[in-house]
Amino acid sequence: MGSSTGPRPRGEECVSRITKEEVAELTQRELPWAIWMGVAVEEIGNGHCRVHMPHKEENLRPGGTVSGPAMMGLADYSLYVAVLSSIGRVELAVTSQLSINFLRKPRPGDIIADCRMIKVGRRLAYGEVFLYSEGREADGPVAHVTGTYAIPEDRGV
Amino acid sequence: MGSSTGPRPRGEECVSRITKEEVAELTQRELPWAIWMGVAVEEIGNGHCRVHMPHKEENLRPGGTVSGPAMMGLADYSLYVAVLSSIGRVELAVTSQLSINFLRKPRPGDIIADCRMIKVGRRLAYGEVFLYSEGREADGPVAHVTGTYAIPEDRGV
Amino acid sequence: MGSSTGPRPRGEECVSRITKEEVAELTQRELPWAIWMGVAVEEIGNGHCRVHMPHKEENLRPGGTVSGPAMMGLADYSLYVAVLSSIGRVELAVTSQLSINFLRKPRPGDIIADCRMIKVGRRLAYGEVFLYSEGREADGPVAHVTGTYAIPEDRGV
Amino acid sequence: MGSSTGPRPRGEECVSRITKEEVAELTQRELPWAIWMGVAVEEIGNGHCRVHMPHKEENLRPGGTVSGPAMMGLADYSLYVAVLSSIGRVELAVTSQLSINFLRKPRPGDIIADCRMIKVGRRLAYGEVFLYSEGREADGPVAHVTGTYAIPEDRGV
């Protein structure tokens, strides 16, 4: 196994190893937080995905901007989906490290996560996520995230 | 201004510049996410705090462990409280960077955040958080977080 | 000011605000470490650059691979050059945060850094760097770096 | 195996699994970069160490402060020593992730690294390092580092 990409190619030729419907079913069954947030996968391919998080009053913070935890949760979920798109339905893959840089205050509104894996190895998968205010992508990302997932030895599949 | 600590002193002699009651009032009014999570400040001093997050079914993830977003949110909230304990009620302080390393799978159960500032400057405040499964502190932290808050020029106070 | 890019556009239409020759002169005068490493800018544009680090026996570590410090130094230098390509010759810009993920053991040999800024603000500039073993770019990056530079209020220019 | 510490205990009662002399011999033989920097272990115990880096003109950068790469290299070396102090002479342990926050500009002069492991597992070891300007520890750290080392399956011992 080893889908790995540099900054340019995005491998859209390769199909995801999990479908949008399987992600939705898994989310429904196992990820109540994501359900509560209303996140939904818009696009999925091998090693990348685009995820939408709708506006919610509960996610605001002082200053009227989207809260950090909401954006971190969206990024973590996107990485989980992108890992599964690369290696198939290994539900027990877990975040081992996540790092977020907040770059601009997002307007209250929907957030889009654009995620791709940078390295998928046997034991660890590493990727990055750009978060955007929907409809304002041209302003540049509101946050940038990198994260590592640990893949269990017994993949349970 | 400049409360700054190395790894040893914890400055419990200095009092917090915001009270537990003020934090609770601010949280109630401005941080619906934290209310929903049920987080509560247990201890607060100048540049440090201890925050409790109760068990919630909604925070679990595949494998029956506490989800990453719940722990990241708790850490971010703890840093916010510790920043305000250092500089007073500057509500518009915002996270600029947060990094989490997950070290052990927490048991389903309450989580404790032990947070302290490492450097509080005029424009940036940097600190660290150790997260523990409550009652199992001796097993070592379940996660370690570092984070930076940006302090607005007009502190609004 | 505000050159900011998402994951796709690379803005090669915009010219760098510092020339390769100016970078070489500044490096010669002020950055003995970079001279000792033999790093050289191969390409530069507004908000991005490509930097070459030649093989050196002194940079190896146990296992015969290129040492971490050599790669971190190369990445930090690349970010410095990319910041200056965006804002001009602000020599006192300093790293405030740098994070590196090592993805593959590089063969002993030359290393290439491909760096671009993600956000250039008034006070902070944030970018990413992909490091490759030269001639083996198709294997994917050997490391990925994100970093923030602080821009002094008095830019000294 | 599992030396793990929270923010308080420092385990000085436990002896290092590698001696200062063994570290010096290994450094001499395998880490030319560290020799060139003149780093020396001052104290070592199980899961922690204190390392000294002397002043060198070559490590300065614009503004007359110690360069980032020198501090990153010192931190990485300290983590390597602290990992070996916990698990013994596993020379092929390699950095998988390192993150540094620069907190104050160090004066030109010697730098001290105070490093301790936070979690030592079977496959990964995670720790933190506080860097100080020697003789100015009371001013607080000049930088804070966290890092993860990957421990090879075949420890080669």
Domain range for C134: 11-150
Residue recorded with tokens 């070891």: D125
| Whether the predicted pLDDT of D65 surpasses 90 | no
- Distances in Å between the Cα of A36 and the Cα atoms of A73, C101, D87 are 11, 32, 43
Does the beta-carbon distance from C4 to A130 stay under 8 Å?
no
Written as tens digits, the pLDDT of chain A (157 aa) is 334 444 444 444 589 999 999 999 999 998 888 998 899 999 999 999 999 999 987 776 677 778 899 999 999 999 999 999 999 999 999 999 999 999 999 988 999 999 999 999 999 999 999 999 999 999 999 999 999 999 998 775 4
The verdict on residue C6 lying in a domain is no
First vs last C-alpha separation in chain B: 15
**What is the identity of the amino acid at C101?**
N
The verdict on residue D1 lying in a domain is no
**A33 Cα to chain B: minimum distance (Å):** 6
| Whether the predicted pLDDT of C9 surpasses 70 | no
**D133 Cα to chain B: minimum distance (Å):** 12
* Predicted pLDDT at C12: 44
Alpha helices in C1-155 (DSSP H): 20-30, 32-37, 68-87
- C97 interaction partners in chain B (CB closer than 8 Å): 97, 148
* Predicted pLDDT at D115: 98
Mean predicted confidence (pLDDT) in D103-120? 95
The verdict on residue B4 lying in a domain is no
Nearest-CB residue to B144 (from D137, D139, D146): D146
Interface B:C, Cβ pairs < 8 A: 7
The verdict on residue B130 lying in a domain is yes
- What's the 3-state SS for chain D? CCCECCCCCCCCCCCCCCCHHHHHHHHHHHCHHHHHHCCEEEEEECCEEEEEECCCHHHEECCCEECHHHHHHHHHHHHHHHHHHHHCCCCCCEEEEEEEEECCCCCCCCEEEEEEEEEECCCEEEEEEEEEECCCHHHCCCEEEEEEEECCCCCCC
Name the neighbours of D, counting chains with at least 3 Cβ pairs within 8 A. A, B, C
The tens digit of pLDDT for each residue in D2-12 reads: 344 444 444 44
- B99 interaction partners in chain D (CB closer than 8 Å): 99, 146
Look up the ipTM and state it: 0.88
The tens digit of pLDDT for each residue in D20-53 reads: 999 999 999 988 889 988 999 999 999 999 999 9
The tens digit of pLDDT for each residue in C67-103 reads: 899 999 999 999 999 999 999 999 999 999 999 999 9
Interface A:B, Cβ pairs < 8 A: 101
DSSP-derived letter for residue B4 is B
Does the beta-carbon distance from A100 to B101 stay under 8 Å?
no
How far apart, in whole angstroms, are the C-alpha atoms of residue D111 and residue D133? 5
Give the domain CATH number at B86. Answer: 3.10.129.10
Q: Which residues of D touch B (CB under 8 A)?
A: 2, 4-7, 99, 101, 103-104, 114, 116, 118-119, 121, 126, 128, 130, 132, 137, 139-141, 144, 146, 148
- For testing contact with chain B, the best of C124, C146, C149, C151 (most B CBs within 10 A): C124
| Whether the predicted pLDDT of C2 surpasses 60 | no
The verdict on residue A2 lying in a domain is no
- B60 interaction partners in chain A (CB closer than 8 Å): 32
- For testing contact with chain A, the best of B39, B71, B100, B105 (most A CBs within 10 A): B100
Q: What is the mean pLDDT of chain D?
A: 88
Nearest-CB residue to A7 (from C104, C114, C146): C114
- For testing contact with chain B, the best of D101, D122, D129, D145 (most B CBs within 10 A): D101
The verdict on residue B90 lying in a domain is yes
Does the beta-carbon distance from A103 to C114 stay under 8 Å?
no
Does the beta-carbon distance from B6 to D99 stay under 8 Å?
no
The verdict on residue C157 lying in a domain is no
* Predicted pLDDT at C84: 97
Q: What's the sign of the alpha-carbon dihedral C13, C18, C23, C24?
A: positive
- In terms of Cα–Cα distance, which of B99, B94, B106, B107 is closest to B144? B99
**C22 Cα to chain A: minimum distance (Å):** 27
Does the beta-carbon distance from D126 to B144 stay under 8 Å?
yes
- Number of domains comprising chain D: 1
Does the beta-carbon distance from C148 to B97 stay under 8 Å?
yes
Confidence band of C156 (pLDDT split at 50, 70, 90): low
Tokens of C21: 């020759």
Does the beta-carbon distance from A99 to B95 stay under 8 Å?
no
- In chain C, the residue whose alpha carbon lies closest to the alpha carbon of D150 is C102
Does the beta-carbon distance from D114 to B5 stay under 8 Å?
no
The verdict on residue B29 lying in a domain is yes
- Residue ranges in chain B modelled with pLDDT below 70: 1-13, 60-61, 155-157
* Predicted pLDDT at C67: 86
